[in-house]
Each structure stands twice: as C-alpha cells, then as structure tokens.
Amino acid sequence: MSGFQQSPRQPATLAAAWEHHRNGRFPMAESMYRTILKRQPGNVDALRLLGNVLRRTGRAEEAVGLLEKAVRIKGNVADNQMELGSAAAAAGRMDVAVAALQKAIELKPALADAYGRLAHLFLSSFDAAGACRVLEDGLTHCQGDIRLHKAAGDAWLTRGVAEKALEHYRQVLAIQPQAGAPAHADLGSALRVLGRLDEAIEQYDTALSTQRGLPNALAGKAEILESLGRTEDALALIEPAVRTGQQVHPDCALTFARLAKRSKRYEDGLRVIERVTKSPSIPIPYRSMASMAMGELLEAAGDCDRAFESYTEGNRLYQTRFEETGYVRMIDVLLETFSQEAVGDLARSGSTSERPLFILGMPRSGTSLVEQILSSHPDVFGAGELTEIPNLAMGMPDRVAQQGTQDAPVDEFPMGVVQLHADSVARLTSQHLEYLDTMNQADRYVTDKLPNNYLYLGLIWMLFPQARVIHCTRHPVETCFSCFATRLSPVHGYANNLLHTAVAYRQYRRVMGHWKQVLPDLQILDVPYEQVVDDPEHWTRALLEFCDLPWDDACLKFYESKRVTRTASIDQVRQPIYRSSVKRSDKFGHHLDDLRAALADFT
C-alpha cells in the first residue's frame, strides 16, 4: 500500500488518520476515514485507505465496493488499481483482481508490488506458467528487485523448472549477499529438486548455521536424509524443533509426523501433530494438512474410526468448490468437441517426437509408483506432475495470438481446438518441447505424471501423434477413498466429499472410454495398480517394453532412487512395493457404505 504524504492542501484529519493507520491502530483510523467520507464522499485518498483497512481486517467485500468507487473517480492512479486488485483477490473475485492489477502495471510499469500480487493470483489459480511470465516481465521493469527474484524462483520451482528457480535464488544473494538464511534455504530447495543433494545439504547447513531453527531448511534437509535412507538422522534433526514446551512450526510438525509414521512412532507423531490441529492461531490450510496427517497416523496405528474422523475434519477445513451439474456439463462439452465426427478434421502437428511420456488416470491410482519405476531407468527423466498441458489448454487463445500468425482468434479450450490450423498446432508442440528441454535435454523420455491430463488426451493426440500414454487404474472404491484421505490440490475440488469423488470417478471412466473409441491410433497402456503390486517384475517388463526400453535392474529397485518426490505418494515410492494399500477401504467398514453404493455398477 502506498502511504499518504501530508501536504498543506490535505486536511489534517486525513494525516492523523494515516498516522493511526500506519501504526496498526485500525479502529481509530477507520473511524476517522469514515468521518472524512461523510463530509467528502469523493475523497479518493480516504476511499483507498479505508479500503486497505477493511481488507486487512477481514472485510474484503466491503473494501471492493469502496475501491471500485475510487477507481471510477480516478482510475488512472496505479495505487488505486493495485489496492482494488488486492481487495478483490481477498474477496475471491479473481477476474476483477487480475484486471485491476494489470491496469496498475499498465499505468506504472515499475510498480514491483503489482507484479508480485498478480503472480500470486496466478499461482493460487495453479497457473505457474502465468506467474512466471508476469514476474519475468516485472524484472525487465524492476531490475534488481530481490522480492521479484525470490517470487520468480518460487514460481519456477512450482512449475517444475528448478534450473530457472536456481538462477533467481542466486540473483537474490548476488544482489544482497546479506539476504541470509531464507535465501540459502531457497537455494537448497532448488538444488534438492535437481537431485544435487550434497550441494542442497550445504545450502541448508549454511541457512541453519545463521538461523538455527529455520523451518523450511530443517524440513528440506530432513527430506534429503530420508531420501538417502537415513530416517533416524532425519528424525534427530527435526525432533528438537517439535519438543513439548515450545512453539512448533507446522512445517516441522508435518515432517515429523511423516517420519514418525515411517518409524512406527505413532504416539509421538500424534502428540506433535495435535499441537497444530488444536491451535486456532495456526492458519486453516495448515490445520487441514495436520488433520490429514493425524488420520494417516491413526490409520497406521489401527484406529480407523478416529482416522476417518480426522480425514473428515481435514476435508471440512479444506472446502473447495464442486458443483456436479457444472462438472458433468464440462465433460459433455469436451466429448462433443472431440466427437467421432470432429476428430478427423482436427489439425495435428505432424511431430514425430515421442519425448513426452504421459502417466495419467485418477489421482491415487498408482501414477507416482509407475513414474518412479520408469524414472529409475537411465533413459527416463522423471519430471513429476507438470501443469504445462492444462496451462497450454487454458491459455490457448493468448498463446495463438502471441504467435503472430494470420489465424483468426480462437476460442477457449476445448471449443477452440477446432479453429486451430496446423502451423499453430506445430508451434504449440515446439513450445512444449522447449519447456521439457529446460528440465532435461539428455534423456529419451521426460515423464509427466499429472493425473488429470486424461482430460486433455485429445489435445495431447493433436500435439504429439507419437506420444506414449500410460493409463493407471485402480479399484474404484480404493481410488475414491484414497482421494478423500489425501490432501489434493484444489483442482480436484471433488476430493473433500466422498460422494463427489464418485461423481468425478464416473466422469473419468466416461472420458477414458471416449478417448479409446475416437482416438484408435493413440498409443496407450492400461496399468492396473493391484496387479503391479502382485507381480511387479511382470509389469515393470511390460512398461519397459511399451516404451521400447531395454531391461534395467534399477527399475525393480526404484525405492533406492535418490530422486526427490514431491507428491502425496512420497512414502510409497521410498520403500519396496507393499500390499497394505490393496483393499485398504475394507478397514473403514460402514463409513464407506454410501461410497460403495454410488460405485456399485463399477465394482
């Protein structure tokens, strides 16, 4: 927020209100701003500053009304637009927020805060590519701004391009060598994802030498130690940070809970994680994650009734929007666009690249296990869950417009695919291959295990006619319950309600059946999770044969890989295949009766 500079022309009461405001005395400041606005309803400074107070005290919707008035009166002031953007974001009005922040940048291209806030909006909408574009643009206008370099590093890391993240984190320290422990911890995180574990530990140690209890440095180093099979060392590192009698950071508590589960120290894990779930001062997202972690500990300890209660509470705290009618209609439009009659007329790139290897299906269907098996092969780079295909689909109109072709503007996905010409499809293909090169250039395959890429198989078929697709399947009830018992991203808005998971599962089966019918030349291998567990060698051979790869013993010892896994399946991919997740739902008895009924025609 920009401050208010008192001048001879400004009423003294506004200066006095600002003095209260900047010192955090919000009730007094609010009262004075309202008094001013009674006398001068069009006082833009008072409108903006009162809007700021309202946003910061949890009344974002009211703030938006005041700030929209300020913008109507004086819309050519960047600070007014930025404050409106911030309030609209807090009120959940993302379209208004994005438009206002973009206008602020247009009015004042060197306004670093506006780039940071706009990028945060893109990240909260799971558009890491959009956030990266905004921040890179911001750095051309605000060169040397360490906040933007830090934010850009975070965005690139979220996008899965750790090399770019590393560049920005290094810039933070180059510009401000005294940036301190957090900057070194960020470097450690990027290096950890790149698999440069010795360097990552060195950076974490540097951070911890100056800020002994820095949570993300402790958690990051513990993650590395565990990946190296040094679970006891990881526990020894993190345990002092969660001792009774001191404030516990949620990151440390969550890391300890996972390690405690791995070491079968269930009671110790529960004692720590309860300090997070029972603390109202800890942000709701952390309490939700802690409730889910508590559920895992209780389930591992054999108390499935209480575990179900914890999973339910974690999902209650993490309410996301899911509307069944709208979701089904979205699928209707997708399948109508890629109908049997339409696909023959769709443009395809003609690319012969088989480099992207797609591993998809419902979440919790074994995608992480399959990727870990394959990425243990020397010719496969495991990139994890990449959001680039959904980002490409959702941003298709802008991407086509930026290509500078003579194509007419295209509609949003999925309808826009019928308007694409072959040259546009070829350019989109090239952009995606260039993106993969930013992560790895040496290996034959780069995996993308984003589960809901199944929604975009038609687009993938257009971009990469030679691409191989591995479709992971699992028992319907097991799949849906595992989604419910796991903290998934808000993209999976159905996951916090058991019956909503059944709706999503039904539509998933419908979509996959459609692709197999209308895209007969799609190279796809169905991999049933339960059978992989029963006969891992057979299915490892089947996977390698499908990918035309020679046998490598390392694929059967995937759990020895030092590759860092950043998904909910982290525990499963760090130990040999085990059977406890098969028929897991049986332990929850009557709690899942309604789910079983909803899926009866699939079982």
Domain boundary among 295, 319, 343: 319
Nearest to 284 by CA among 95, 496, 568: 496
**Residues contacting residue 61 through CB under 8 Å, at least 6 positions apart:** 91
Q: Is residue 362 part of a domain?
A: yes
What does the pLDDT read at residue 7? 41
Query: Same structural domain for residues 466 and 519?
Result: yes
Confidence band (pLDDT; 50, 70, 90) for 160?
Answer: confident
How many domains does the structure of the chain reveal? 2
Q: Is residue 359 part of a domain?
A: yes
What does the pLDDT read at residue 127? 82
CA distance 211 to 220: 14
CA distance 217 to 187: 10
CA distance 450 to 390: 9
State pLDDT tens for residues 345-391: 999 999 999 999 999 999 999 999 999 999 999 999 999 998 889 98
Query: Same structural domain for residues 374 and 424?
Result: yes
User: Mapping DSSP to helix (H, G, I), strand (E, B) and coil, where does residue 283 land?
Assistant: coil
Query: Same structural domain for residues 432 and 570?
Result: yes
Q: Is residue 111 part of a domain?
A: no
Query: Same structural domain for residues 380 and 430?
Result: yes
Residue whose token pair is 């971009």:
463
CA distance 541 to 377: 12
| Enclosing domain of residue 272 | 241-319
What is the domain-level CATH number for residue 507?
Answer: 3.40.50.300
Q: Is residue 106 part of a domain?
A: no
What share of the chain has pLDDT > 90, as a percent? Answer: 80
Q: Which amino acid is at 482?
A: S
- DSSP H helices in 278-323: 284-300, 304-317
Per-position DSSP letters for 191-213, written without gaps between them:
HHHTT-HHHHHHHHHHHHHHSTT
Per-position DSSP letters for 589-601, written without gaps between them:
GGGGHHHHHHTGG
Domain boundary among 291, 319, 347: 319
Q: Is residue 250 part of a domain?
A: yes
State pLDDT tens for residues 268-324: 999 999 999 999 888 888 999 999 999 999 999 999 999 999 999 999 998 777 899
Q: Give, as one character, the DSSP assignment of residue 385.
A: S
Query: Same structural domain for residues 351 and 489?
Result: yes
Domain boundary among 319, 352, 386: 319
State pLDDT tens for residues 109-150: 999 999 999 999 998 877 888 899 999 999 999 999 999 999
CA distance 362 to 191: 30
What share of the chain has pLDDT > 70, as a percent? Answer: 94
Q: Is residue 30 part of a domain?
A: no
What does the pLDDT read at residue 16? 93
Query: Same structural domain for residues 289 and 379?
Result: no
Inter-axis angle of helices 498-518 and 476-484, nearest 10: 130
180: left (phi over 0), alpha (psi -120 to 50) or beta: left
Residue whose token pair is 């933070």:
172
What does the pLDDT read at residue 582? 86
Query: Same structural domain for residues 313 and 442?
Result: no
Query: Same structural domain for residues 397 and 466?
Result: yes
State pLDDT tens for residues 236-261: 999 999 998 788 999 999 999 999 99
CA distance 570 to 86: 35
Query: Same structural domain for residues 338 and 314?
Result: no
Q: What is the mean pLDDT of residues 37-47?
A: 95
What does the pLDDT read at residue 184? 97
Q: How high is the mean pLDDT of the chain?
A: 92
CA distance 205 to 50: 45
